[in-house]
Chains A and B, each alone.
Chain A
Amino acid sequence: MKTIYLDNNATTRVAPEVLEEMLPYFSQLYGNPSSMHSFGGQVGRKLREAHEKMAALLGASPDEIIFTSCGTESDNAAVRAALHSNPDKRHIVTSRVEHPAIRALCAHLATRGYRVTELPVDAEGRLDLEQYRKALTADTAVVSLMWANNETGVVFPVEQAAEIAGEKGIIFHTDAVQAVGKIPIDLGKTAINMLSLSGHKLHAPKGVGVLYVRRGTKFSPFMIGGHQEKGRRGGTENTPGIIGLGKAAELAARYMETENTVVKNLRDRLENALLARIPNSRVNGDRVNRLPNTTNISFEFVEGEGILLMMDEFGICASSGSACTSGSLQPSHVLRAMGVPFTMAHGSIRFSLSVYNTDEEIDLVVEKLPAIIETLRAMSPYWKPGEGVCARS
């Protein structure tokens, strides 16, 4: 059975070109990039190349790029560094829909004497910039807002938010794990101080990430060790991973237009066909300011895990914001923050596409999913057959 992979916001396949670029650095070219000999030196040169490629994708300078182990490390390093640089300030501003890498960190910091403001979002998952502006105080040390939401794909106006923070001298960090490679980013034209990204979300391997730190931003390292990454992240580099991520950055720049035309069209076709064929379904989140590859659709009165497992029988991979898939007992905090009713939140499915998806794959999902929803609804005590309404509240 062929796998139809529509879960690219969870992770992506390593691009064949990326794999090819990495392979020699696992075997023949195993030198330590910090070594004085030329055997290690050639690896060091390749790492510098990776810095340049990543900087080019982000509109940054190579010396503003720190390679880390993942998005979570980058997020933690950014927020902690900002707090460390502003020891007199105890206030953090973030949002209710952040990834756990920021949310759980802020919850932890709240137990260590920091005050955290989690900004709400509206029903479409959008941020109110006026409310944001009012939340900033003289005590605010750092703002951390995601560029694009991992569940709905909704894009926050982080460039404007960074300007507002900059005017008040507040450090602005963005978790851009989902945005990089999908929408154009030119950090040189923004006031963003720090940005996090993760390799495995853009066709590089797992275990490598990036923290961008704008030149001039005070930064104290999270990991202290050797002089690697200019002393900002000690520890021998994950050289194959970094080299792979450098290549992935180069490919992402090349595929940016495809993401915003071909992939977007595939996503829209999938979304429109499912909405047309399945009654009581709706898209969660702003359909305008949204990543081109993501759609989050709720199917009322059924539970997401059941949908995922039935799709799995056809090799279709996606994700759900249902509680049952996570071991949590509450559905997605993102959908709840948007006020999505329980009837919809439990039955939400996220489809996230990539440049590797095809028309045929989308056709198969459109063919199979209506029957799956019908089967599950026939079992649901809330579904009133033929009327498409809730049988009881």
Chain B
Amino acid sequence: MWEYTDKVKEHFLNPRNVGEIEEPDGVAEVGSIACGDALKFTFKLDENGRIKEAKFKTFGCASAIASASALTEIVKGMTVEEASKVTNQDIARFLGGLPEEKMHCSVMGREALDKAIAYYRGDTGKEVEDKVVCECFGVTEKEIEKAIRENALTTLEEVTNYTKAGGGCGNCHPAIQEIIDRVLGDVHAKPVPRPKMSNLRKIRLIEETIDQEIRPSLKQDGGDIELVDVVGNRVLVATRGACASCQAANRTLKNFVEVKLRELVLPELVVEEVSQ
């Protein structure tokens, strides 16, 4: 049995925004029944150009359904420009993570979003020719390249987990490896990115940021938070003082605490409240 987070299970059992919007501003269909998962995604904008409604229909496993549900929740309220920056990592993060082998479900969500935005912008006819690399699952060269770049993939197995490419007959494995080598060659030719932060340093920086940047602001309103644990990029905190009984505490955690930690420690951090 897969190790799904509670949030994946919750969005699978109680998916949000199931259905299809009539006369949508953006629409996309990705995947196929042969591949084992497919998604139809639609959205509609309000008068200010923000997504007021997003809906999905999915044929797929629990993580495919949960990823689609998460996508609709994430993009609601965003402008098309903001939505175009949503990545598959955002979808996976929203769900508290997905098993590695299921990351392709989050990628399917992002692909649907890209395609729906292209529809909205009228770009659908301008698609440049893209070579299909994996015949079994119809995955193209550009899709593989994008997944490698966006998710820092380095192995064939990871590419399969994120795109399904190479998960069938295996004939395309050499071609996928060539793409990996080429993209990694490009990446390595560029300036060296910021070194990966050690766990120890990450936790220290989180503690310092909470002490120096976050706690003083919360205390002004009689509130506080306590760092409970750091699991990967999940920062588990407990609310204290006025924050513990505040109905808007969740917003504070997301819009203030998480934003500050992402800005000053690591952009991938996700703040989650635990009851303690």
Contacts and interface: CB of A to CB of B under 8 A. Distances in A.
A329 B59 contact: no
Interface in B36-73: 36-40, 57-65
At the interface, is chain A mostly helix, strand, loop or mixed? loop
Given A303-B61, A306-B62, A329-B137, A379 B15 contact: yes
B59 A342 contact: no
Given A328-B167, A381-B57, A346 B33 contact: yes
Interface string A292-308: 00000000011101100
A379 B57 CA distance: 5
Contact of A329 (B58, B65, B168): B168
Contacts of A310: 13
B62 A380 contact: no
Given A324-B36, A329-B36, A330-B167, A306 B12 contact: yes
A323 B33 contact: no
A188 to B, nearest CB: 42
A381 B167 contact: no
Nearest to B34: A342
A302 B58 CA distance: 9
Interface in B50-102: 57-65, 101-102
A197 B37 CA distance: 36
Interface string A118-137: 00000000000000000000
Contacts of B33: 301, 342-343, 346, 382, 393
Contacts of B101: 327
Contact of A380 (B58, B63, B102): B58
A142 to B, nearest CB: 27
B41 to A, nearest CB: 10
B61 A324 contact: yes
Contacts of A323: 36
A263 to B, nearest CB: 26
A88 interface: no
A378 interface: yes
A322 interface: yes
Given A329-B36, A342-B33, A342-B34, A322 B61 contact: yes
Interface string B188-223: 000000000000000000000000000000000000
Nearest to A382: B59
Given A303-B61, A309-B62, A381 B29 contact: yes
A379 B36 contact: no
A: interface residue count bin: 20 to 34
B227 interface: no
Interface in A319-346: 322-325, 327-331, 342-343, 346
Given A313-B13, A329-B160, A379-B65, A346 B36 contact: yes
B164 interface: yes
Nearest to B37: A303
Contact of B59 (A303, A309, A325, A327): A303
Most central of A324, A346, A378, A382 by chain B CB within 10 Å: A324
A324 B101 CA distance: 9
A333 to B, nearest CB: 12
B159 to A, nearest CB: 12
Contacts of B62: 305-306, 309
B137 A381 contact: no
Interface in B115-146: 136-137
Contacts of B63: 324
A346 B29 CA distance: 19
B236 interface: no
Interface in A333-366: 342-343, 346
A322 B167 CA distance: 14
A324 B15 CA distance: 19
B39 A306 contact: no
A373 to B, nearest CB: 13
A381 B18 contact: no
B12 A303 contact: no
Contacts of A325: 61
B12 A309 contact: yes
Contacts of B160: 329
A323 B167 CA distance: 11
Interface string B13-40: 1010010000000000100011111111
Contact of A378 (B18, B60, B164, B168): B18
A381 B58 contact: yes
Most central of B37, B59, B62 by chain A CB within 10 Å: B59
Contacts of B29: 381
A346 B58 CA distance: 13
Contacts of A331: 36
B135 to A, nearest CB: 13
Given A309-B12, A346-B36, A379-B65, A330 B168 contact: yes
Given A309-B12, A329-B136, A381-B38, 20 more contacts: A303-B36, A303-B37, A303-B64, A313-B13, A324-B36, A324-B60, A324-B61, A329-B160, A330-B136, A330-B167, A331-B36, A343-B33, A346-B33, A379-B57, A380-B58, A381-B29, A381-B39, A381-B59, A382-B38, A382-B59
Interface of A: 301-303, 305-306, 309-310, 313, 322-325, 327-331, 342-343, 346, 378-382, 393
Closest 10 CB pairs of A and B: A329-B167, A324-B61, A305-B61, A381-B57, A381-B40, A342-B34, A380-B59, A323-B36, A327-B101, A309-B62
20 contacts: A302-B59, A303-B59, A322-B36, A324-B36, A324-B64, A329-B35, A329-B36, A329-B160, A329-B167, A330-B136, A342-B33, A342-B36, A346-B36, A379-B18, A379-B58, A380-B58, A381-B39, A381-B58, A382-B38, A382-B59
